[in-house]
Amino acid sequence: MADTLTITDNRTGKTYELPIQDGTIRADALRQIRTSEDDFGLMTYDPAFMNTASCRSAITLIDGDKGILRYRGYPIEQLAENSTYLEVAYLLLNGELPNQVQLDKWTDKVTNHTYVHEFLRDAMQGFRYDAHAMGKMVSMLGALSTFYPESKNVRDPAVRHEHIVKIIAKMPTIAAWAHRHSVGRPYVYPDNELSYTGNFLNMLFRMAEPRFKPNPVLSRALDILFILHADHEQNCSTNAARAVGSAETDPYSTLAAASAALYGPLHGGANEAVLRMLRQIGDVKNVPEFVKSVKDGKGRLMGFGHRVYKNYDPRAKVIKKLAHDVFEVTGKNPLLEIAIELENIALNEDYFVKRKLYPNVDFYSGLIYQAMGFPVEMFPVLFAIPRASGWLAQWQEMLVDPEQKIARPRQIYTGIELRDYVPMNARG
Ligand code: ACO
């Protein structure tokens, strides 16, 4: 059996044989299919990239039907159980788990780049008191590029590495300061004696105590949430990072663009929508009525369903378990019972079973973040911090891939072909 596709063009009667590799045909192989010498050749039309692979990638594997998510081959459940976010970031960026010496060196480097230039603090002060935390993140990432003009040298692996370290190190600092700015509290400087997430909690929540002692359960829970959010192959923001980075834009501006994509409610904002929905339901006894209204087409069950997963999102399973550990420390989020009842009813309803609608990563994460004291506007920021490692791994992979070039799709032009300019006094 040949790994080829035979196409007959009924406009010309000509037949073409195209190679199939990895379950794909190359779109540019269609260009030879033409009706005449001056015909541009056949293209594919794929709005929203529903059936187009834009790259070859060895970073993250998702099998949506089986509910599988793996980073560099390692199942997400094993990483969440045994690894740390910084180790996972190393894995995503380098392809292999570090040995002890490599991990210590990597951790040390990241820990020693957590401070930001004082001018950035001044820039933060320029925002209005009610500026959204994610708007501040996007701006601060863009602003960081102006402090490191040498980061434009994206073809130099040593330069790339230096700025990858800086970005991963500084994400928690600017995120925490965005929050402190919102609540009108003084900025807290990094404490390099603490772990990555321990220090983040310090910069978020420290008040008058001489030294902040992060709760180990909350610090570990955040670390696990960071592992779960570190990468998710070619999602909207990663695609933005690859597209912008393909113009050889510096990594700070590239990540500002990726964060802007994540800011969108269809991408990074679903867990906020889950909280709003649970508050609207208000009580366990109202759940059956709410589920009925969803089945009747009056709105969606937020935190359910996924474009790729047609099975239980493996991240949701880990988060559901984690919620119980967190609530032991923080006290139960009163919305949890509503969420559990909602899940129980929905998973047994024909409507959801037939459509393969299962809880996704956002169904329980908002409940945990809220119980830990985060306001909802910080939710997408909490997503952006760990996703930075995924964006950077994908950005780097794109830059070293000899097949990649500046991303520049084609279009089907649907406008007027040609017309003459009409002077103002002759227009209707
Ligand atoms: N509640 C009720 N019905 C739903 C839901 C839902 N959450 N999701 C999908 N459906 C139904 C649709 O109405 C449709 O039914 P139909 O065939 O009778 O018309 C069918 O299931 C298929 O839905 P699509 O919209 O075609 O699925 P798509 O893959 O385009 O959408 C999406 C995926 C956007 C995630 C969707 O499931 C949804 O809106 N979920 C709620 C929002 C949410 O939780 N988003 C977070 C996603 S995870 C993330 O981005 C990190």
Beta strand ranges found along 170-214 (DSSP E) = none
CA 390 from centroid of its chain's CA atoms: 8
- pLDDT value for 420: 98
The SS3 assignment for 175 reads helix
Ligand 1 center–CA 219 separation, angstroms: 32
Sorted by sequence, the CB contacts under 8 Å of residue 2 that are 6+ apart come out as none
Rounded CA-CA distance 20/25 in Å is 5
Q: Is 362 marked active-site?
A: yes
Q: Could you state, in chain order, the average pLDDT of each consecutive group of 10 residues for the chain (428 residues)?
A: 95 98 97 96 96 97 96 98 98 98 98 97 95 97 98 98 98 98 97 98 97 97 98 97 98 98 88 90 95 94 90 92 93 90 92 93 92 93 98 98 97 98 96
From 307, 345, 352, 358, give the residue whose CB has the most ligand 1 atoms within 8 Å, as the site to mutate. 307
Q: Which residue in the list 267, 283, 350, 401 is annotated as catalytic?
A: 267
Rounded CA-CA distance 35/187 in Å is 66
Do 195 and 223 contact (CB within 8 A), yes or no?
A: yes
Do 268 and 384 contact (CB within 8 A), yes or no?
A: yes
Backbone torsions φ then ψ of 215, nearest 5 degrees? -65, 125
- pLDDT value for 375: 92
Do 164 and 86 contact (CB within 8 A), yes or no?
A: no
Rounded CA-CA distance 280/286 in Å is 10
Say which amino acid occupies 176: A
Query: E strand or H helix at 9, and its extent?
Result: strand 4-9
Rounded CA-CA distance 263/369 in Å is 17
- pLDDT value for 330: 94
- pLDDT value for 48: 94
276 CB within 6 A, ligand 1: no
Rounded CA-CA distance 182/219 in Å is 22
Q: Where are the alpha helices (DSSP H) in 230-286?
A: 236-245, 251-263, 270-281
Backbone torsions φ then ψ of 4, nearest 5 degrees? -140, 165
- pLDDT value for 267: 87
- pLDDT value for 104: 98
- pLDDT value for 161: 98
